[in-house]
A and B are shown apart, each in its own frame.
Chain A
Amino acid sequence: NAGVTQTPKFRILKIGQSMTLQCTQDMNHNYMYWYRQDPGMGLKLIYYSVGAGITDKGEVPNGYNVSRSTTEDFPLRLELAAPSQTSVYFCASEQNTEAFFGQGTRLTVV
């Protein structure tokens, strides 16, 4: 009963480096989301997907890319890391209006 699994839990990147945040869910949910949460702030939607092969931009998509080749996986790609991308990233899936969140990835760009 894993739910939504994110890896890694922590990462430090240098400016200009790239990385992929992994997200997988085992609940067969069609809807998946990537959010970022800055200190003391709420959630901002980066990208979302309504099913395999379909993705769309959220509120703050610049500097990120996503893909959804399978129902289970929804990786988030940072191509050229910038200090402004220091944040905690949450992946979520949703079914019947209930969202299920991963534990989060704390990313620091230095």
Chain B
Amino acid sequence: GDSVTQMEGPVTLSEEAFLTINCTYTATGYPSLFWYVQYPGEGLQLLLKATKADDKGSNKGFEATYRKETTSFHLEKGSVQVSDSAVYFCALIKPMDSNYQLIWGAGTKLIIKP
């Protein structure tokens, strides 16, 4: 079945460091891919998305490129801030699938130290 695999956390970085959180997926067809962020004590919110191969989603300095050849959607940011500390979830959805629901990765906790 369809699945999403994320790198295990926590990931601990110093402020202004470069961030990569790996995400790979297994799915038939042409899924859309997402990154959601969960700040402490809050629900998840959409960070960015890409709906087809080679699309790049971006928001708040974060980027991810939909790579169909490697079935990946890695999240990157050039210079992280303490305020980026959160849990990041990779997810996929197949809009034409009859079971129309998001498939979630396990989440990666990011800790940024000043």
Contact = CB atoms under 8 A, between A and B. Distances in A.
A48 B103 CA distance: 13
Contacts of B106: 41-42
A43 B41 CA distance: 15
Interface residues of A, number: 21
Contacts of A104: 42-43
Contacts of B49: 97-98
Interface of A: 4, 31, 33, 40-43, 45, 48, 50, 58, 90, 92, 94, 97-99, 101-104
30 contacts: A4-B43, A31-B100, A31-B101, A33-B101, A33-B102, A40-B109, A42-B104, A42-B105, A42-B106, A43-B104, A43-B107, A48-B101, A50-B100, A90-B43, A90-B44, A92-B44, A97-B32, A97-B49, A97-B51, A97-B93, A98-B49, A99-B36, A99-B44, A99-B46, A99-B102, A101-B44, A101-B45, A102-B43, A103-B41, A103-B43
